[in-house]
Amino acid sequence: MPESRHLGRGREAYEYGDWATAYEAFEQAGAELPLAAADLESWASTAFLLGKDDEFVKLLDLAHQRHLDHGDTLNAARCASWLAMNLAAAGAQAPAAGWLARTRRLLKGVSSDSAESGYLALAESMAAAARGDLAEVVARAEQAVTSGSRFRDHDLESLALHVLGRAELRRSRVDEGLALLDEAMAVLASRVTTPFVIGVVYCSVIDACRAVFSLQRAHEWTEALGRWCENQPDLVAFYGDCCVARAEMLVLRGAWLDAADEARRATFRLAQWTAPRIAAAAKYQLAEVHRLRGDAEAAERAYADVAHQGGVPYPGLALLRLQMGDADAAYQGLLGRLAETRDPLRRARLLPAVVESGLAVLRSEIDTEREEILAELQTAAAELTSVADAYRSPALRAMADHAEGDVLKARGETAQAAAALRAAVDGWTALGAPYQVAKARVSLGRAYLAKGDVEDAEIELAAARSVFAELGAKPDLAALDEVAGTGPNVSGLSPREREVLAPLARGDSNKAIAAALGISERTVERHVSNIFDKLGVTSRTEAAAHALRNRLV
């Protein structure tokens, strides 16, 4: 039977990466004559890349049957393995288990010395990952790596290396895991692999790097994935993942408006099986940009959309509550979320916000148990340090140094606080994260104020102000005014603390100050304690002298 002209066009378009044309041509060819199994597999690949997951499953099943019709058991088993892996990744565990059983049956009695046995091992590794059996994940993935290398099946080798790398990261074997991910990417870069395998490995490696806060790696691979996606204008699969990863990196780099554009672009083309996840992730990055720039209403709507799509709006939503002045709600919400979270890396995403909101509670007029909260914050900072030690990520280390410094400063250990906060400034600077640098500089400025080092405090706070202004971080600029005060000298006192300082300098008692300001005597005591801390004094007399000398009253 002569070949259809559409079939030749489909094969050519597939070779050049024109997925939409290839899909259409294969579809027209398939309407004219029965397609060979290899052409059905190519057609299935185009369906996957165009986001047509149901069509991918149907076409790959048809290829599997066509291989069986021609007595090709090994290739039929390979198709069955792909179906098992695809369905498992989409969360369809029962159908995935069925195809896994089908693969085992096909390979029963067949020599285990084949690449197809490696695909079975890879599918079994992914099934074990869904069960949380890391030992089995590693054992099967190692088997698949060996098989892929031996039979020069680079799809299998790259996929298995990345599965093995992710498993090692979950076992806290960070160096080993990252090295395996790098090797998986090297296979992609230097050897011919199937297009959708390239996308799968790219996206999964980027996701793993982001999860362990290996931000430089995530940035580099995101740029590479972006270039790959841009060369395929019809691509649907992986497009949303790429945009979200780019948006997150742009938020970190301080390019907030560009990040918002990428987040919006992420939802233009969504594959069926990734739509809710990508939509939630994109909305979260958009919400973060709104929050950081001070558009509270837009941020609140976007965080609500995250939750509606099944995503997690924390810690951003709590930080929005903090920004809007409800420190206690932010802090309690984060503590509740933390209690529900077991994974140490996911907890690490919450812990800096726990410390920030808890410190805001201590600075507010809410009557709280100061030592109890300080103990909670010290525990949070210590946990973050432990995670940073385990994963050795520069970003985690900067986060931990910042949290530790803030807690030390709250406990009055200002010299140690300044050292930790200086390390945080240096860490974020090395990572090219201007907003985090500025936030750490504000904390460092506070620590210098508490030590009585006004000149160094002014330097740090002025540097932070410049960055906040350049980024358009309006809420942080407003908060900085409270730290710096409005007079010519930096005091570090909030407006309410300055109100308390004036009668304190006149010699009024706490009871008299409370009556005059209409607040509780206990709240006055807390303000006086904060004033001593920020001015670096130990008595009311010293506070009065400092206030008069620096024209604070």
Give the separation between CA 225 and CA 239, rounded to whole angstroms: 9
Nearest in space to 218 (alpha carbons), one of 193, 241, 191:
241
pLDDT digits over 464-520, tens only? 999 999 999 999 998 887 665 443 345 567 777 888 888 888 888 898 898 888 888
Residue for token pair 């998986």: 184
Domain limits of the chain? 208-313, 493-553
- What single string gives the DSSP state of each residue in 385-409? HHHHHHH--HHHHHHHHHHHHHHHH
Alpha carbon distance 220, 271 (integer Å): 24
AA letter at 87: L
Contact 280, 311 (CB under 8 A): yes
CA distance 503 to 154: 76
| Residue that the structure tokens 């280390």 belong to | 397
Whether residue 404 has pLDDT greater than 80: yes
Longest distance between any two alpha carbons in the chain, whole Å: 105
Question: What kind of architecture, by CATH, is found in domain 208-313?
Answer: Alpha Horseshoe (1.25)
pLDDT for the residue numbered 1: 42
Q: What average pLDDT does range 287-312 have in this prediction?
A: 95
Name the least confident of 115-129, 218-232, 306-320, 428-442.
Answer: 218-232
Give the tokens for residue 463: 């540097």
Q: Rounded to the nearest 10 degrees, how much is the dihedral formed by the CA atoms of 519, 525, 531, 534?
A: -120
Q: Quick check: 221 and 209 in contact, CB under 8 A? A: yes
Confidence of residue 551 (pLDDT cuts 50, 70, 90): low
pLDDT level of residue 208 (50, 70, 90 thresholds): very high
pLDDT of residue 488: 38
Contacts of 172 (CB under 8 A, 6+ apart): 390, 391
Q: Kindly list the distances between the CA atom of residue 323 and the CA atoms of 135, 184, 296, 333, in Å, as whole numbers in the listed order.
A: 44, 42, 9, 14
What integer best gives the mean pLDDT of the chain? 89
Is residue 39 predicted with pLDDT exceeding 50?
yes
Question: Which of helix, strand or coil describes residue 52?
Answer: coil
**CA 27 – CA 129 distance, rounded (Å):** 36
Q: Is the separation of the CB atoms in 410 and 377 below 8 Å? A: yes
Measured CA to CA in angstroms, residue 119 lies from 46, 65, 517 at distances of 21, 18, 74
Contact 464, 452 (CB under 8 A): no
Distance CA 275, CA 284 (A): 14
Please state the φ and ψ torsions of residue 56, each to the nearest 5 degrees: -60, -50
Percent share of the chain, pLDDT over 70: 94
What is the dihedral sign for C-alpha 20, 21, 26, 31?
A: positive
* Segment 123-129 mean pLDDT: 90
* pLDDT score, position 92: 80
Interatomic CA distance for residues 205 and 165, integer angstroms:
9
Dist CA 1 CA 198 (whole Å): 35
State the distance between the two ends of the chain, measured CA to CA, in whole angstroms.
98
Q: What is the pLDDT of residue 266?
A: 87
**pLDDT at residue 195 tops 80:** yes
Best mean pLDDT range from 109-113, 271-275, 321-325: 321-325
Residue matched to tokens 């067949």: 110
Residue 545: its pLDDT value, please? 78
Average pLDDT over residues 218-222: 88
**C-alpha dist (Å) from residue 42 to 29, 56, 68, 173, 202:** 13, 10, 17, 37, 20
Q: Where is pLDDT greater, at 303 or 503?
A: 303
Residues 419, 443: contact at Cβ < 8 Å? no
Q: What pLDDT shows up at residue 112?
A: 65
Q: Is 94 exposed, middle or buried (0-12, 13-18, 19+ CB in 10 A)?
A: exposed
CA angle 60, 65, 67 (to 5 degrees): 95
Among candidate residues 115, 116, 98, the one with its CA nearest the CA of residue 107: 116
The predicted-structure confidence for 260-293, as pLDDT tens digits, reads as follows 999 998 887 776 667 788 899 999 999 999 999 9
**Mean pLDDT across 83-87:** 90
166-180, 211-225, 237-251, 533-547: which has the minimum mean pLDDT? 533-547
Same fold, 208-313 and 493-553: no
Least confident of 34-48, 335-349, 479-493: 479-493
Whether 440 has a pLDDT exceeding 90, the answer reads: yes
CATH code of the domain made up of 493-553:
1.10.10.10
DSSP code of residue 527: H
